[in-house]
Amino acid sequence: MFETDVLEVPQSARTGSLPAESSVRTLLHDVHERYRDLQEGAVADYIPVLAEADPDLFAVSLAEAAGPMHTAGDTSALFTIQSISKAFVLALVTDAIGHESVHEIVGVNNTGLPFNSVIALELNNGSPMNPMVNAGAIATTALMPGRDGAAKFEAIQEGLSAFAGRPLRIDETVLESESASNHRNRGIADLLTSYDRLRIPAEDALDAYTRQCSLLVTSDDLAVMGATLAAGGVNPRTGRRVVSAEVCRDTLAILASCGMYELSGEWMFEIGLPAKSGVSGGIVAVAPGKGAVGVFSPPLDRAGNSVRGLRTCAYLSRALGLNLFASPSP
């Protein structure tokens, strides 16, 4: 998953606060220079329109929980949020219906199988197992407040915009492309219905889920959204409380165990941060109490994670002392 050059980055002993702003800015520019010419991975093509992404785009943003933002690269580039939306919809649903209900209806355990696995549903008697795989995300979307799929998506769009601190809009071209090619997700939604796991028609749940994945963001947006979780639910861009601190704790716990799918254990072993990726090339990694990193670079590895994004998060985790499991030497 990681090349040896990442392990050569000096491990910071910092486990409290972030270093001075000038040091953070320097590190972001250093990591961007280090990986901008990396030519590994391939742009996603199972959603046809995503295959048109520019593989050279590379953006790194770090939003501090206390407010400052640091950036490097193509941070104005817009891309669809895709599966990263799962983390924030989970937070909104948990805020709406509570910790116990999410645990009972959706689950919190890693499937150990790919994000779009149908077998995982069948093996677990229709339980989605966790909100980060597609089955769990569709079930979670169906739990949003609202009388139907349209109302649920409206609540999602408002909620994710509150996390980002600005209005988010749909990329209609991506939505159309995803809707025409999401055959496996249609099967998953129908299977969830057969196990009585959806509270609305499968078609409505799938439409709302596909729409949430088609919302446009930047690396800055991802960093701010993640920093809102890092700050106990208060958006550092707007000062607005989006969800409770307890919801942030629950969300980050699930991201730590399931956010990077079947590679979540390896991610935590090497990087040590709750994180979520998306097939458009985005990654958000959260350091509770400190802030969050948002990365965008379209070329993906075999598991569907941004290659430059993985390297960047590993580099910054070590250089800034973000790893949750790190402690200073005596």
Tokens of residue 45, six digits? 């093509």
Dig out the tokens for 120 from the structure: 């995982």
Per the annotation, where are the binding residues for substrate?
83, 134, 178, 185, 209, 261, 279
> What's the CA gap between 131 and 283, in Å, rounded?
17
SS3 of residue 33 by DSSP: helix
> Can you read off the two tokens belonging to residue 230?
């890092």
Active-site position among 89, 243, 279, 293: 279
The torsion angles phi and psi of 294, rounded to 5 degrees, stand at: -115, 125
> Are the C-beta atoms of residues 44 and 298 closer than 8 Å to each other?
yes
Instruction: Establish whether 284 is a catalytic residue.
Output: no
Instruction: Tell me which of 9, 61, 127, 209 is the catalytic residue.
Output: 209
Which is the catalytic residue, given 86, 152, 276, 290? 86
Residue with tokens 């379209």: 298
Annotation marks residue 276 as catalytic: no
Q: Is 83 a catalytic residue?
A: yes
CA distance 183 to 1: 29
Q: Is 195 a catalytic residue?
A: no
Question: For this structure, is 261 an active site residue?
Answer: yes
Binding site: which residues?
83, 134, 178, 185, 209, 261, 279
Distance between CA atoms of residues 8 and 263, nearest Å: 22
Catalytic residue among 83, 177, 280, 306: 83
Alpha-carbon dihedral angle through residues 190, 196, 198, 202, given to the nearest 10 degrees: 20
How many other C-beta atoms are found inside a 10 Å radius of the C-beta of residue 264?
A: 21
Instruction: With beta carbons less than 8 A apart as the criterion, state whether 146 and 212 touch.
Output: no
Question: Beta 291-296 vs 282-287: how paired, if at all?
Answer: antiparallel
Question: In Å, what is the CA distance from 122 to each residue of 114, 117, 119, 139?
Answer: 14, 10, 5, 15
- Count Cβ neighbours within 10 Å for each residue of 229-260 and write b for 16 or more, e otherwise: bbbbbbbbbeeeebbeeebbebbbebbbbbbb
What is the residue type of 289? G
If one counts every other C-beta atom within 10 angstroms of the C-beta of residue 221, the result is 30
Catalytic residues: 83, 86, 209, 261, 279
